[in-house]
């Protein structure tokens, strides 16, 4: 009995998601430049033809992953409440998302910075220009409601701060004191001090150090 149109569509979507998941894993492990379509094919356990049917080359895979990363950032548009509550939600949501999605965060940082792939990031960002502008305006509205004299510069500073934290978390996931930084951010913006910690691992404040290679090899092996 022939499959229905909806069944075929569901199968195609599962295959596509499987390929994207494999690409994210391979890019995170090997780096974008060193990874190959063959690596993705093997990880996804599908034919090369199926991979190239959806994604003609590595750049298209990277573009799709970046597209989803930008969509994730756009979740702040759904925040409700007072300006202070929305600002607190942006801070807490960004920290949570960064910790829980470190592979895609690392990939996004890498693709943004590498000369060979920065044009891909620029292309995706341009295609999402309306949504990116909405995100910027949403943050600027928050600062305007809080009485900031220059909401635009406040938006840029907040995003730069959170992006810097994302970079540090991506490099030092085991030693970055997420909760202490969160508390400091809330205080610096005059927000109420959070009464409960985020449900993520957060070491005490000490020094940012990457774990030793030997320890990493033991755990990875």
Tens of each residue's pLDDT in the chain, 221 residues:
556 766 767 888 899 999 999 998 898 888 888 899 999 999 999 999 999 999 998 888 988 888 888 888 888 899 999 999 999 999 999 999 999 988 888 888 888 888 888 888 888 888 889 989 999 999 999 999 999 999 999 999 999 999 999 999 999 999 999 999 999 999 999 999 999 999 998 999 999 988 754 554 455 44
Contact 63, 142 (CB under 8 A): no
State the Cα–Cα distance between residues 32 and 34, nearest whole angstrom. Answer: 6
Q: Which residues, 6 or more positions from 155, have their beta carbon under 8 angstroms from its beta carbon?
A: 136, 139, 140, 143
Predicted local distance difference test score (pLDDT) of residue 69: 86
> What are the domain boundaries of the chain?
1-56, 62-220
Rounded to 5 degrees, what angle do the CA atoms 145, 148, 151 make?
85
Predicted local distance difference test score (pLDDT) of residue 219: 52
Three-state DSSP state, 132: helix
Terminal Cα-to-Cα distance of the chain (whole angstroms): 46
HSE-up (13 A, CA, CB side) for residue 169: 28
Task: Please enumerate, as own/partner, the contacts of 18-23 that have beta carbons within 8 Å and a separation of 24 or more.
Answer: 18/44, 18/45, 18/46, 19/44, 19/46, 19/50, 19/51, 19/54, 19/55, 19/61, 20/61, 20/64, 20/65, 20/68, 23/55, 23/61, 23/62, 23/65
CATH entry, 62-220, from 3.10.450, 1.10.3470, 1.25.40, 1.10.357: 1.10.357
- Give backbone dihedrals phi and psi of 79, rounded to 5 degrees, phi first: -70, 140
- Give backbone dihedrals phi and psi of 14, rounded to 5 degrees, phi first: -65, -40
Helix axes 118-127, 58-73, angle to 10 degrees: 50
Greatest distance between any 2 Cα atoms in the chain: 67
Predicted local distance difference test score (pLDDT) of residue 106: 87
> Per CATH, which fold does 1-56 belong to?
Arc Repressor Mutant, subunit A (1.10.10)
Predicted local distance difference test score (pLDDT) of residue 112: 86
State the Cα–Cα distance between residues 150 and 208, nearest whole angstrom. Answer: 33
């Amino acid at each position: 009995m022939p499959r229905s149109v909806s069944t075929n569509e569901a199968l195609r979507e599962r295959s596509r998601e499987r390929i994207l998941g494999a690409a994210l894993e391979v890019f995170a492990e090997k780096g974008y430049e060193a990874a190959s379509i063959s690596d993705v094919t093997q990880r996804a356990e599908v034919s090369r033809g199926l991979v190239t049917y959806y994604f003609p080359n590595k750049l298209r895979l990277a573009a799709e992953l970046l597209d989803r990363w930008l969509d994730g950032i756009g979740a702040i548009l759904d925040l409700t409440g007072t300006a202070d509550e929305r600002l607190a939600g942006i801070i807490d949501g960004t920290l949570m998302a960064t910790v829980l999605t470190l592979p895609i965060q690392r990939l996004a940082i890498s693709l943004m910075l590498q000369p060979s792939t920065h044009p891909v990031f620029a292309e995706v960002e341009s295609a999402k220009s309306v949504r990116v502008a909405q995100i910027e305006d949403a943050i600027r509205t928050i600062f305007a409601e809080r009485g900031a004299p220059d909401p635009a510069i406040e938006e840029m500073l907040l995003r730069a701060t959170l992006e810097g934290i994302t970079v540090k978390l991506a490099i030092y996931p085991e030693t970055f004191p997420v909760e202490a930084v969160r508390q400091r951010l809330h205080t610096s913006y005059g927000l109420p001090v959070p009464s409960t910690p985020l449900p993520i691992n957060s070491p005490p404040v000490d020094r940012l150090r990457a774990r030793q290679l030997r320890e990493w090899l033991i755990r990875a092996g």
